[in-house]
Amino acid sequence: MKHWTETDFEQGLYGLKDRDAHLDECPECRGELERLTQERRRVAAQPEVSREFLEAQRRNIYRRLEEPRRNWVAWRWVISAAMLLALALGLTLQRSRPTAPAISDDQLFSDLSRMEQSAEPKAIQPLHSLFEE
Amino acid sequence: MGVMADRLEASLDGLADTREFGSWMVAEQKRIFLLCRRMLQDVEEADSATQDTFLKAWLALKRPESRDLDDPSKWVTRIAINTCLDRLRSRRWQFWRKRPHPDDEATVLSMAPSADPDAERQVMAREIVERLERALDKLSNRQRAAFTLRHYEDRSLAEIAGILDLHVGTVKVHLFRAVEKLREELHDLYFREGRK
Ligand SMILES: [Zn+2]
């Protein structure tokens, strides 16, 4: 009867080797596998984590849970303030802007044709006199 | 009047949800934090990853379609592992990252008193446990995840496959490589002279 080796036990512990016929009939190997499993569980329970640390961590989590809501409330204030400011500014501009007098179509056409004629940059105009007889 | 009542009811509902979530978090918190610390090997980063995990869990639970979870513990483990894997991936670019300081660990973590009356053997056992945790650094990200879930959480290969979204065969390969790399530490943990 060949007992399980160290490698067999390691693989058995990590799910890499199934229970076999030997394990079924050998109480010694079964006992050893049980001991190793207990040892692994004992190790897994370590280390202890400080209670203060866990409490502080939970406080941080709650604070962060609240954040999106708080941000939205803050943004609502910012948006409302910006809208009020825009409205006030609009009203002020509206009041201070001189009202343009209505012009007739004829007036508009004559203005446009004058603009076309004087399309040349003003700085060039004095030069024309040099070439004019 | 109706609007006020609705609003009051909604906020009470929210409070009940927060309470329920809070007690579930207390039950899972230490396990998730230790899982993150083993994955990230750094108390500070594990703290932040744990916070991210519960925050993601809370936001996911707020969505009506994710209300009925058959295994919340496995579900939050999956969130935690993915959070850690993301951090490990982005860490590759953070060559300026500071190394964890042992003093940070000492204020947060402590070993429970052992039942062994022999003080010298207690110290040695503690040393082996700590050495194994540090040795997880030798493993690739997926190997570390698979090994941590098996060794510390006693999860079946099928469960690990579900959490990591891998085939059972692939999990076996990761575990096999992890056990190979940790052979020395595992030998000392299980078969060191005088432990039997
Ligand atoms: Zn045997």
Q: Read off the pLDDT of residues A65-81 as tens digits, 9 standing for 90 and up.
A: 887 666 666 667 777 78
In order of A18, A39, B67, B75, the CA distances from A68 in angstroms are 50, 45, 21, 24
Q: What is the model's pLDDT at position B114?
A: 65
Over residues A32-50, the mean pLDDT reads 88
Q: What is the model's pLDDT at position B28?
A: 95
Q: Which residue has the tokens 């496995």?
A: B74
For residue A39, the distance in angstroms to the closest alpha carbon of chain B comes to: 7
Higher pLDDT, B105 or B67: B105
Higher pLDDT, A63 or B92: A63
B193 touches chain A (CB under 8 A): no
Whether B190 and A39 lie within 8 Å, measured CB to CB: yes
Q: Is the pLDDT of residue A17 over 50?
A: yes
CA of B187 to the centre of ligand 1 (A): 19
Helix (H) or strand (E) holding B110: strand B109-110
| CB-based contact B81:B145 (threshold 8 Å) | yes
The string of pLDDT tens digits covering residues B162-182 is 999 999 999 999 999 999 999
Q: What is the DSSP letter of B194?
A: T
Q: Return the closest-CA partner of residue B111 out of B97, B94, B125.
A: B125
User: What confidence tier does A28 reach under pLDDT thresholds 50, 70, 90?
Assistant: very high
Sequence-ordered list of residues with C-beta below 8 angstroms from that of B117, at least 6 positions apart, any chain: none
Higher pLDDT, A112 or A7: A7
Structure tokens at B121: 């053997």
Query: pTM score, two decimals?
Result: 0.73
In order of A26, A44, A57, B85, B101, the CA distances from A51 in angstroms are 45, 18, 10, 27, 20
CA of A28 to the centre of ligand 1 (A): 5
End-to-end CA distance of chain A: 130
The residue type found at A15 is G
Q: For residue A48, list its beta bridge partners.
A: B110
The string of pLDDT tens digits covering residues A117-131 is 554 444 444 445 444
Proportion of chain B above pLDDT 90, given as a percent: 56
Residue B192: what are its φ and ψ, rounded to 5°?
Answer: -60, 145
Domains of chain B, CATH where assigned: 1-98 (1.10.1740.10)
Q: What is the model's pLDDT at position B168?
A: 96
The string of pLDDT tens digits covering residues B59-87 is 888 877 765 678 899 999 999 999 999 99
Sequence-ordered list of residues with C-beta below 8 angstroms from that of B142, at least 6 positions apart, any chain: B85, B164, B166, B174
| CB-based contact B31:B41 (threshold 8 Å) | no
Q: Is the complex ipTM more than 0.85?
A: no
Q: Return the closest-CA partner of residue B82 out of B23, B35, B150.
A: B35
Q: Which of B51, B59, B62, B166 to mutate to test the interface with A (most CBs of A within 10 A)?
A: B51
Report chain B residues whose CB lies below 8 A from the CB of A46: 111-112, 129
Over residues B142-167, the mean pLDDT reads 96
Q: What is the model's pLDDT at position A14?
A: 94
Q: Which of B24, B55, B196 to mutate to test the interface with A (most CBs of A within 10 A)?
A: B55
Whether A54 and B33 lie within 8 Å, measured CB to CB: yes
Whether B30 and A49 lie within 8 Å, measured CB to CB: yes
Q: What is the model's pLDDT at position A124?
A: 46
A67 touches chain B (CB under 8 A): no
